[in-house]
């Protein structure tokens, strides 16, 4: 009989791809989500899959999580809430989801004798990094509550490994993109903003001069990283997950095709993100496979997913990011 794996945030962007990867490898998967940010359509294709079971639950509900983890071998804790400005405006909500939810899942895993516990961490813990590619040993300097609460979750995970002997690992993800990424809600990831603008025939709103670069990492590579690390001996440490490259926003506009306009640069945003992935490669053999060009081509194939997404304008972006300038300008 194959392994049983539980994925929190299974109806979310990354969680749904991890569920797919596990099922493809013969796992039975328990998917947990409360649809706070996840979407039923992200797991709709799994409805008839006999190796997939869905549990609607809040990760902060310890009893529900203990029940969901009975008989589970591996846990992939992907659930949480993202975005910068909302975290500045509602830090308690972020603490509840990203910190309290994580400790609830850890305690449920401990109670059930789970063999592996993997955590979805964020490269935002590095803040305005001083070294590129950025290694795991870089100074931690969180710039806003989202980054802080995700790092606090990571510290809890590593602590449960240290104190309780849970076999844990934390994966610090860099700029993940791909199909099923969010199409509605707050102003956020650049791909969703640009694809909706392209569909509407509007210019893409490039922050600053567009020469800033991001370590855009395709979601199937990220799902494969989680699967690979889970099956490896890597434990009780945090590792970077990145593409092995870094790409400018202007290059992204060029690949998407369309007009662009420039809007003011924002405080607290790095000029570059670029993961040093030597540790995960050395420890597990994992390496990203999807090139930036191929990944962007896949996004264009799925562009209709953004047909009903909000079309951001300079004015609405200014309103949505007012808190950013208010609190992060130094």
* Count of the separate structural domains present in the chain: 2
Q: Residue 173: which of 94, 90, 82 has the closest Cα?
A: 82
Pairing label, strands 213-214, 247-248: antiparallel
Minimum mean pLDDT among 74-78, 159-163, 222-226, 264-268: which range? 264-268
Kindly report the pTM of this predicted structure: 0.97
Domain membership of residue 317 (yes or no) is: yes
227 and 100 in a common domain: yes
Residues spanned by the domain of 170: 4-174+218-241
pLDDT of residue 266: 84
Average pLDDT over residues 297-322: 91
Q: Is residue 100 predicted with pLDDT exceeding 70?
A: yes
Two tokens, residue 215: 């370590």
Mean pLDDT for the stretch of residues 139-167: 97
The answer on 138 and 15 residing in a single domain is: yes
Residue 268 in this model has a pLDDT that exceeds 80 = no
Is 172's pLDDT higher than 90?
Answer: yes
Band the pLDDT of 308: cuts 50, 70, 90: confident
At residue 83 the predicted structure's pLDDT band, cuts being 50, 70 and 90, is confident
Task: With CA atoms as reference, report the closest residue to 196 among 208, 182, 210, 209.
Answer: 182
* pLDDT-wise least confident of 79-83, 131-135, 263-267: 263-267
Other C-beta atoms closer than 10 Å to the C-beta of 59 total 27
Closest CA to 90 of 34, 174, 146, 153: 146
Question: Which pLDDT score, from 0 to 100, does residue 317 have?
Answer: 87
Give the pLDDT mean for 177-192.
81
The per-residue pLDDT for 302 is 95
Percent of the chain whose pLDDT exceeds 70: 98
In this structure, the answer to whether residues 121 and 205 fall within a common structural domain is no
Is residue 330 in some structural domain? no
pLDDT at 269: 84
Tell me the CA distances in angstroms from 36 to 59, 134, 176, 223, one per residue in order. 11, 32, 20, 21
- The mean per-residue pLDDT over the stretch 296-318 comes to 92
**Does residue 262 lie in a domain region?**
yes
Residue matched to tokens 């989202």: 146
Structure tokens at 291: 């090139």
Q: Specify if 327 maps to a domain.
A: no
Model pLDDT, residue 1: 60
Based on the domain organization, do 83 and 114 belong to the same domain? yes
Average pLDDT of the segment spanning 130-138: 98
Domain-located, residue 328: no
pLDDT (average), residues 42-47: 95
pLDDT for 16 = 98
For residue 326, tell me if it sits in a domain.
no
Q: With beta carbons less than 8 A apart as the criterion, state whether 146 and 93 touch.
A: no
Same domain flag for 150 and 197 = no
Question: Based on the domain organization, do 201 and 159 belong to the same domain?
Answer: no
Q: Could you tell me if 110 and 258 lie in one domain?
A: no
For residue 250, give the CATH number of its domain: 3.90.25.10
The Cα–Cα gap between 32 and 278 comes to 32
Pair 186, 156 in one domain: no
Question: Active site includes 146?
Answer: yes
DSSP state of 100: I
Tell me the CATH number at 145: 3.40.50.720
- SS3 string, 298-330, reads HHHHCHHHHCCCCCCCHHHHHHHCHHHHHHHCC
Of the candidates 94, 126, 144, 146, the residue annotated as catalytic is 146
Picking from 8-17, 28-37, 174-183, which range would have the lowest pLDDT averaged per residue? 174-183
134 and 150 housed in the same domain:
yes
**Mean pLDDT for the chain?**
95
Q: What is the pLDDT of residue 330?
A: 64
The structure tokens listed for 251 are 């290059």
Mean pLDDT of 177-194: 82
State residue 186's pLDDT score.
Answer: 66
Do 203 and 66 belong to one domain?
A: no
- Mean pLDDT along residues 118-141: 97
One domain for residues 38 and 122: yes
Answer yes or no: is 279 within a domain: no
Q: If you write DSSP's letter for every residue of 46-98 in order, what string do you get?
A: GTT-TTEEEEE--TT-HHHHHHHTTT-SEEEE------HHHHHH-HHHHHIII
- Residues 35 and 58: beta-carbon distance below 8 Å: no
Residue 324 confidence class, pLDDT cut points 50, 70, 90 = confident
Claim to verify: residue 20 and residue 169 sit in the same structural domain: yes
Q: Is 281 a domain residue?
A: no
Q: Is the pLDDT of residue 204 over 90?
A: yes
Contacts by 298-303, CB closer than 8 A, 24 or more apart? 298/178, 298/179, 298/218, 299/177, 299/178, 299/179, 299/191, 299/195, 299/256, 300/256, 302/179, 303/195, 303/198, 303/199
């Amino acid at each position: 009989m194959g392994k049983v794996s539980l994925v929190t945030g299974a109806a979310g962007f990354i969680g749904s791809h991890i569920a797919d990867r596990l099922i493809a490898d013969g796992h039975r998967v328990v998917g947990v989500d409360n649809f706070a940010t996840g979407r039923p359509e992200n797991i709709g294709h799994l409805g008839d899959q006999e190796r997939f079971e869905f549990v609607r639950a809040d990760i902060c509900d310890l009893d529900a999580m203990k029940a969901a983890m009975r008989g589970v071998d591996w846990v992939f804790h992907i659930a949480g809430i993202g975005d910068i400005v909302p975290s500045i405006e509602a830090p308690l909500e972020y603490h509840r989801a990203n910190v309290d939810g994580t400790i609830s899942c850890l305690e449920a895993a401990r109670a059930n004798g789970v063999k592996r516990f993997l955590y979805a961490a964020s490269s935002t813990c590095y803040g305005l990094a001083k070294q590129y590619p950025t290694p795991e040993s870089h100074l931690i300097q969180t710039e806003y509550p989202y980054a802080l609460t995700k790092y606090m979750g990571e510290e809890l995970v590593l602590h449960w490994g240290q104190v309780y002997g849970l076999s844990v690992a934390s994966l610090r993800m860099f700029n993940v993109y791909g199909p099923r990424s969010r199409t509605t809600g707050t102003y956020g990831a650049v791909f969703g903003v640009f694809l909706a603008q392209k569909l509407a025939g509007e210019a893409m709103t490039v922050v600053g001069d567009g020469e800033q670069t991001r370590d855009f990492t395709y979601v199937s590579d990220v799902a494969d990283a989680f699967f690979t690390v889970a099956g490896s001996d890597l434990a009780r440490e945090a590792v970077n997950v990145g593409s092995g490259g870094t790409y400018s926003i202007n290059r992204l506009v060029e690949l998407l095709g369309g007009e662009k306009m420039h809007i003011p640069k924002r405080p607290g945003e790095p000029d570059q993100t670029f993961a040093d992935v030597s540790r995960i490669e050395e420890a597990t053999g994992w390496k990203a496979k999807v090139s930036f060009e191929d990944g962007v081509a896949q996004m264009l194939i799925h562009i209709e997913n953004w047909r009903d997404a909000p079309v951001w304008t300079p004015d609405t972006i200014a309103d949505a990011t007012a808190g950013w300038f208010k609190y992060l300008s130094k």
